[in-house]
């Protein structure tokens, strides 16, 4: 399979639409459908890797077919694997690259033609399909786009220290007001008192039964005491 631009395969006007490869007349035999995706090629001038598209060609028949890619503007494109064979019931990817993404080529419609012929039958075209191609202008002006830095010379590598990390200043926690401090202190004393009191079913305690607390009350007191401890530590 040959790689590169098809400089000698230009379609000229509408007269070339009814002729096979290298001027051979179109075949009167069975017509094979040319299944390609996408049906139209849209190139973007602002693609970082260059305007390129992937064209997938599928062979639905049970025999290998020879394909050939032609173009109305061969100097504007580079076609990788422009000629070759597609195995039966298989597909092949054809990479097409726009090599002249200049403003004068924006929104200019070109055409690609995919021709299929039977293997070993020179000049017998069994299927063809025309695909339109257009180059779209960048979404934003080029001067507003971030241009990538040029690659450093391999002989003189350039080393740049990374930008230092910015540390945000820690915001000090405001001190507790006097009234809030007294309220939290009172709540802490009450919680500790609940933890020191005996349980309701505890025997041998000298305190009256009214001062006996349940296990749930002790758990709540312990939880409140833990929250107050965190508040005091952060203030």
76 is a domain residue:
yes
Q: Per the omega criterion (within 30 degrees of 0), is the bond before 163 cis? A: no
pLDDT higher for 152 or 80?
A: 80
176 is a domain residue:
no
Burial class (CB in 10 A: 0-12, 13-18, 19+), 84: middle
What is the extent of the structural domain holding 74?
35-136
Integer angstrom CA distances of residue 169 from 121, 166, 174, 177: 79, 9, 15, 24
174 is a domain residue:
no
Write out the two tokens for 64: 């290998």
Q: What is the CATH number of the domain that holds 43?
A: 2.60.40.10
10 is a domain residue:
no
**Residue 193, pLDDT score:** 81
Write out the two tokens for 140: 């934003």
What is d(CA 199, CA 177) in angstroms, rounded to the nearest whole number?
35
What is d(CA 225, CA 192) in angstroms, rounded to the nearest whole number?
7
pLDDT per residue over 196-222, tens digit each?
878 777 777 777 777 777 878 878 878
Write out the two tokens for 5: 């631009």
In degrees and rounded to multiples of 5, residue 185 shows phi and psi of -65, -40
> How many other C-beta atoms lie within 10 A of the C-beta of residue 229?
12
> How many other C-beta atoms lie within 10 A of the C-beta of residue 219?
12
Q: In the chain, how many H helices and how many E strands?
A: 2, 9
**Residue 113, pLDDT score:** 93
Asked if pLDDT for residue 39 goes beyond 70, the answer is yes
120 is a domain residue:
yes
Burial class (CB in 10 A: 0-12, 13-18, 19+), 116: buried
Asked if pLDDT for residue 23 goes beyond 50, the answer is no
**Residue 21, pLDDT score:** 42
Nearest to 31 by CA among 130, 123, 124, 93: 124
Q: Are residues 39 and 131 in the same domain?
A: yes
CA dihedral angle for residue 14, residue 20, residue 25, residue 28, rounded to 10 degrees: -110
**Residue 90 bridge partners (DSSP):** 59
**Residue 22, pLDDT score:** 44
Model confidence band, residue 160 (pLDDT cutoffs 50, 70, 90): low
132 is a domain residue:
yes
Last residue of a domain, one of 99, 121, 136: 136
Asked if pLDDT for residue 1 goes beyond 90, the answer is no
49 is a domain residue:
yes
* Domain count across the chain: 2
173 is a domain residue:
no
């Amino acid at each position: 399979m040959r790689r590169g631009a098809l400089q000698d395969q230009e379609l000229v006007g509408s007269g070339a639409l009814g002729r096979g490869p290298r001027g051979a007349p179109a075949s009167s035999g069975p017509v094979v459908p040319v299944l390609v995706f996408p049906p139209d090629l849209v190139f973007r001038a602002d693609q970082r890797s260059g305007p390129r598209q992937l064209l997938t060609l599928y062979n639905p028949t049970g025999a290998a077919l020879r394909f050939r890619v032609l173009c109305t503007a061969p100097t504007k494109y580079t076609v990788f694997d422009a000629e070759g064979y597609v195995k039966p019931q298989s597909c092949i990817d054809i990479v097409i690259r726009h090599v002249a993404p200049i403003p004068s080529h924006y929104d200019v419609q070109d055409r690609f033609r995919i021709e299929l012929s039977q293997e070993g039958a020179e000049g017998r075209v069994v299927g063809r399909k025309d695909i339109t191609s257009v180059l779209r202008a960048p979404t934003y002006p080029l001067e507003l786009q971030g241009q990538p830095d040029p690659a450093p010379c391999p002989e003189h590598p350039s080393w740049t220290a990374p930008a230092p990390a910015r540390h945000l200043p820690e915001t000090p926690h405001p001190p507790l007001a006097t009234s809030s401090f007294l309220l939290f202190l009172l709540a802490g004393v009450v919680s500790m008192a609940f933890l020191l009191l005996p349980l309701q079913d505890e025997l041998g305690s000298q305190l009256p039964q009214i001062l006996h607390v349940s296990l749930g009350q002790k758990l709540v007191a312990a939880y409140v005491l833990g929250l107050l401890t965190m508040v005091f530590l952060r203030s």
